[in-house]
Chains A and B, each alone.
Chain A
Amino acid sequence: MESLSRRKFIQRTALAGGAMLLLPGLEASMLSDNSSGNYFLKEFGIDETLCQKLLAKALSKGGDFADLYFEYSVSNYLGLEDGKVNQSYGDISLGVGIRTVKGDQIGYGFTQELTEASMMSAAATASTLCNMNATPVVTSFNRLKTGNYYPVALDFNGFPANSKLPLLQNINQKCFGLSPEVVKVNAGFQSSAKRVLIATSDGVMSEDLIPSGFVYASVVAERKCKREQSFYNLGGRRDFAFYTDDVINRVATKSVNNALKLFDAIQPPAGEMPVVLGPGVTGILLHEAIGHGMEADFNRKKISTFSTMIGKKVAEPFVTIIDDGTNLNLAGSINVDDEGTPGKKTVLVENGILTSYLHDKISAKHYGVEPTGNGRRQDFQNYPIPRMRNTYMLGGTASVDDVIRQAGNGIYVEDVSNGQVKIGEGDFAFYVSQGRLIENGKLTSPIKDVNIMGNGPKMLTNIIMAANNLEMYHGGAGQCGKNGQGVPVSFGLPTCLVKSLTVGGTQQKGGQS
């Protein structure tokens, strides 16, 4: 295998996003075994001795532990507008973040230069947190063995950009071909490959290659002087081979059909009413209503409404909610989290009982439990905090028809675009971009552009029925924001009935506007 200087490395990986096939040496290097731990050594000269030296500096004034997070990523975006693939954007990110931890306190420094002097300076910044005697660092590292939940056969950066252009041209043609009412199509292909090396003062070393990406179509349709738009994407932690004709067809068809449906959509009445959540992307409800409140940093700081509820009944017995880093190819899957804990599956609510929070190392130590592998960060410029991965609820036993019939009069949610939660209050909101009215137990008129409000703990107890049709969200564009950091996540839900939520319409019930 060819060993590359850092200069050549940057040249070649940046080029791969734009112009030409990589040399075999680099491609093989990028695709090397995740657990080998040799990538950063070969490309950047980051060896165990240097890691020990940096960790010793970070702990030179004391602290419980320290860690290093090296990152090299190349991301690319190609965009189509007005029939032409006419935008190419690329970004290279390289650096190391160095963290010193004492109790729940964090000292953090980072640098974009992987020179020893610059890295030692970042370690010195992190060390300023403490003012004690030095904490010893291990003399050797154990290479972490992890699962591989996103095997990569065809790396994005191993392909020339001109092989990606036809994907976008196909989407454009298919969208326009599906309906004469389509007047504008935007399509884009976002892809990135991120290499990370984590070394901790307690002797864990791990490397990972993390693919990420999605292809999308955004469509505007026009009917009788009225316009509607929709957006649909597919992706996740997948390699280039995922983006087949079938995927392109699905993206185009879904975007066009969704836009056309909106011409008949109405605003639902405002106020409290039963809400049926369709399967899949509506899992954002779990993410906002419950998931964030179960992130352990909010609980150890006692600012989450769930902070006194471990071991208590929080939902009906048929409700089991899981946060999972081990789903194959989903956007939130992780082989190892960003502080060296292997990706895991964590049961948050089991048969209605709250069983666990989502932990990073700091909160796990606080609670005296094992880390759950939820310590995640946006990049080397940020320290890790507890974050969700793929959050979903297991299916129930009812049929979809029964769930809708049981709702009586309310709304059915098919697609959502975003959400938010107030952790302490537990109040949450999510925005319904597509849905239907439920009248007398049957789906009727389409609805759109409705914000739905609720309270997380209350909503959890109000899930009164679930169908046996759990679906996961397979988009790659889902980003969760917390403390200014975005990380990719996914979610899932079976069709389920929430007894009552507040629907934000423009008409009061009974027709008064």
Chain B
Amino acid sequence: MRYNSNNQQEFQELADWVIDQAKKAGVKDCKVNLSKRRFVEINYRDRKPEVIKEATTQGLNLEVYINNRFASQSTPDFRKSTLAGFVTDVVGSAKIMEEDPFRTLPDPKYYAGRTTNDLQLADPTQDELTPEQRHAMVKSVEDSCLEQGGSKVISVEAGEYGETHEEFVKSSNGLVGANRTTQCWTGASMTAQDEGDRRPAGYHWVGCRYREDLPSLQEVGTIAARRTLDLMGGKKIQTETLPIIIENRGVGRVLGGLFGPMSAGNIQQKRSFLTDKKGQQVGSKLFTVQDNPFLPRALGSMYYDGDGFPAKKRDLFTQGTLNEFLVDWYYSRKLGWEPTSGSISNLMIPPGTRSVDQIVKDLGRCMLITDFIGGNSNSTTGDFSVGIIGKLFDKGQFVQNVAEMNIADNHLKFWNKLVEIGNDPWIYSQTRLPSLVFDGVVVSGV
């Protein structure tokens, strides 16, 4: 089944009709969001298809504001005969809410200024892939993983996922937005036989908006196997204080503990340890983070945010200083601040000049963290604790794989321990971050 290119026209007409219905029901302000998603998913295990899944979903969300009373509901049913009752229900829900003077649609002056650049969010060839080609892709990834894994392989699962997503948003006070995006993902997970009953499982999955931007399928499968074999013999070591390197793809996990507390909602609700830190140094001079929504084809690129505000490039941290909070419309009103944006697009840290391999050689005894397990971060205090998996090195020489260990710290101390940045941003994510090196971290084990 091919994607319906007439969706935007259908969406626009339906959004107008829903807004009209809401107004007839006494609503002054409302916002309608319509979307359709079509996806295909194929997984192979042990050289045969394990799962073949394909479907189209759709949803309509309606937000209404009646005298500062707010309600939001969603439905998959786009028929006008049903939607008439749906609109009445949402209005009924809003009417019984308590009045909140901050609950309004955004001031329309903030809608202006959207980029006119083509961000290339949808691959025009997405729907051209035949089922046979999809199966061939997965087989190729699986073959290379099996070959690289060799006699250690217990099981390999390889897969391919393709998605086309289309949305339309319109508000009663002038917001109009339309988007069509595509994603394609492929990768493999491998389980290997280790000592005793231990069966380490590693994986390598990559995704992007354009299929042609995927790396070679052979490379994907090979890396999945290599990353699994790298887990063999993982054991914990004595608790000690070490330099650590967090591999590029894992940096977003730790950085997330810093970004939650930057949201205006957490600040207004007194759940942020960063409340009084704007303009202050919270990390080392190397800690510079940008949010860039305008990278063509990037997974986090966007034209407008969740409030409908035009996406903007922002320097969130510069040389360790916190420049800006993530302020959406509702909490900007509660705090009496100017809204910025509550949404994150593509997070980037300017890369350094050296590879992880080069850095490891100069670090003495150090640990490369390749994955995390469990853990959490307290947005109110900044304390975090998370399980780690990785590799121990000494003077550039591999010592052993490590597992069942942990790092813990407070974000206000941790980011000041940042001493070097790798040259390897992870591009298959909206957290396009390079590997980071931290000095003096307590690594808990035996």
Residues of A within 8 A of B (CB): 6-8, 10-12, 14-15, 17-20, 81-82, 84-95, 104-112, 122, 125, 128-129, 160-162, 165, 183-184, 186, 220, 222, 227-229, 267, 270-272, 288, 301-309, 381, 383, 417-431, 433, 448-451, 453-455, 457, 502-509, 512-513
Contacts and interface: CB of A to CB of B under 8 A. Distances in A.
Contact of A270 (B194, B375, B376, B442): B442
Contact of A429 (B52, B56, B373): B373
A451 B385 contact: yes
Given A108-B53, A184-B270, A424-B191, A18 B71 contact: yes
A431 B374 contact: yes
Given A272-B446, A451-B387, A14 B76 contact: no
B162 to A, nearest CB: 15
A82 B442 CA distance: 39
Contacts of B280: none
B197 A161 contact: no
B89 A270 contact: no
B403 interface: yes
Nearest to A429: B374
Given A110-B55, A425-B194, A505-B408, 6 more contacts: A11-B82, A86-B69, A86-B100, A424-B201, A504-B408, A507-B442
A6 B85 CA distance: 12
Contacts of B54: 108-109, 125
Given A112-B57, A504-B406, A427 B445 contact: no
B318 interface: no
B240 interface: yes
Contact of A15 (B48, B88, B269): B88
B210 to A, nearest CB: 23
Which of A106, A110, A449: most chain B CB closer than 10 A? A449
B51 A88 contact: no
B444 interface: yes
A75 to B, nearest CB: 10
A161 B241 CA distance: 54
Contact of A505 (B72, B240, B442): B442
Interface string B127-153: 000010000000000000000000000
B197 A305 contact: yes
Interface stretch (B91-99, B107-115, B288-296, B354-362): B91-99
A186 B303 CA distance: 32
B227 to A, nearest CB: 13
Contacts of A451: 374-376, 385-387, 406, 408
Interface string B416-446: 0000000000000000000000000010111
The winner among A87, A91, A303, A450 for most chain B CB atoms within 10 A is A303
Nearest to A417: B376
A425 B52 contact: no
Nearest to B377: A449
B376 A18 contact: no
17 contacts: A7-B82, A11-B86, A19-B93, A106-B50, A108-B52, A108-B54, A161-B93, A270-B444, A271-B446, A301-B45, A423-B199, A424-B198, A429-B375, A448-B378, A451-B386, A453-B444, A504-B408
A502 B269 contact: no
The 5 A-B residue pairs with the shortest CB-CB distance in the complex, in nearest-first order: A429-B374, A18-B93, A504-B406, A11-B85, A19-B92
Contacts of A308: 197
A222 B408 contact: no
B55 A122 contact: yes
Nearest to B58: A112
Interface in B378-395: 378-381, 383-387, 389
Contacts of A305: 197-199
A271 B444 contact: yes
Given A10-B75, A106-B52, A417-B376, A449 B384 contact: yes
Contacts of B100: 84, 86
B74 interface: yes
Contact of B374 (A86, A222, A267, A430): A430
A302 to B, nearest CB: 5
Contacts of B319: none
Given A10-B85, A112-B76, A425 B199 contact: yes
Nearest to B196: A305
Interface stretch (B2-10, B217-225, B231-239): B231-239
B409 interface: yes
Contacts of B334: 82
A112 B241 CA distance: 54
Contacts of B96: 18-19, 88, 160-162, 165
Nearest to B238: A271
A419 to B, nearest CB: 6
Nearest to A125: B54
A428 B374 contact: yes
A427 B72 contact: no
B409 A94 contact: no
A270 B408 contact: yes
Identify which of B50, B82, B410, B444 gathers the most chain A CB atoms within 10 Å of its CB.
B444
B89 A186 contact: no
Contacts of A125: 52, 54-55
Contacts of B89: 11, 14-15, 17-19, 90
Interface in B7-52: 45, 48-52
Contacts of A94: 76-77
A428 B373 contact: yes
Contacts of A420: 373-375, 387
A227 B442 contact: no
Contacts of A229: 271, 378-380
Contacts of A424: 154, 191-192, 198-201
Contacts of A503: 406, 444
B201 A267 contact: no
B405 interface: yes
Nearest to B86: A14
B222 to A, nearest CB: 20
B76 A302 contact: no
Contact of A303 (B155, B269, B271, B406): B155
B75 A302 contact: no
A508 B442 CA distance: 7
A105 B49 contact: yes
B404 interface: yes
A58 to B, nearest CB: 12
A453 B406 contact: yes
A108 B53 CA distance: 5
A86 B381 contact: no
B397 interface: no
B73 A91 contact: yes
Contacts of B445: 271-272, 502
Nearest to B68: A86
Nearest to A110: B55
B70 interface: yes
A125 to B, nearest CB: 5
B97 A85 contact: yes
A512 to B, nearest CB: 7
Contacts of B327: none
A509 B238 CA distance: 11
B90 A504 contact: no
Contact of A84 (B88, B99, B386): B99
Nearest to A160: B96
A11 B77 contact: no
Contacts of B407: 504
